[in-house]
Amino acid sequence: MTLAEEKEALKRKLKEIGNKKKKAPKYKKEPKDILNDPKNPTNDSPEDREQRALRKRSGNFQLNDFNFISTLGTGTFGRVRLVKHRDDPPEALPLALKCLKKNEIIRLKQIEHVKSEKSILQRINHPYIVNLKGTFQSPTHVFMLLDYACGGELFTLLRREGRFANDVGLFFAVEIILAFEYLHSSDIAYRDLKPENLLIDRDGHVKITDFGFAKVVTDKTYTLCGTPEYLAPEII
């Protein structure tokens, strides 16, 4: 088999993996509130649509700019919602809206932590990283609008497959290395690499997510952080 044929076979295989993952998740409906099930009005005025378009171009969104579809996950600080901008065409891809509760951020003393994550996401843009599309806030929440990777976690895919074929494992490894090469060239240490933080997009490509432990490092850092199960044993 020629190199071109091998590439085509790998591309077909990754597309099959992506298609399988797209069929898997079904999200439960939740009680109605402003974050769970907004009314998504459709009869707004031309002035409303114009203002919404201006906000979209500048990245200064408001919560009612989006139609809420489902819940992707929940955590200590809030939840991640699947949303779509109200002015996007039907074929446009949905986005992930990270909804963080301000009272929980303050209670757990994570203000600087959240500011750092936002600052790092604002300075990076790479095809193998979940990129930040915009941020905004309400009186009760901070919102981060991010790329949506419909294939789910690499961890889930690996657990289901048992092991990857050499060509698939090599494909994922190369994309991760390229993403880290980009981060390190920008003086960013990620510090929490694990399969749970690697998402798969609809084309089967890796997307690195969760920059909560990431840090700008121009010289050295001595902070011990990350997930214990994935830390190098000599530093635990």
Residues noted as catalytic = 192
Please measure the distance between the N-terminal and C-terminal CA atoms of the chain and give it in whole angstroms. Answer: 46
Pair type for strands 66-74 and 215-216: unpaired
Chain mean position to CA 212 = 12
Nearest to 77 by CA among 132, 143, 23, 135: 143
Residue type (1 letter), 209: T
Beta bridge partners of 4: none
Cα–Cα distance, 124 to 169 (Å, whole number)? 25
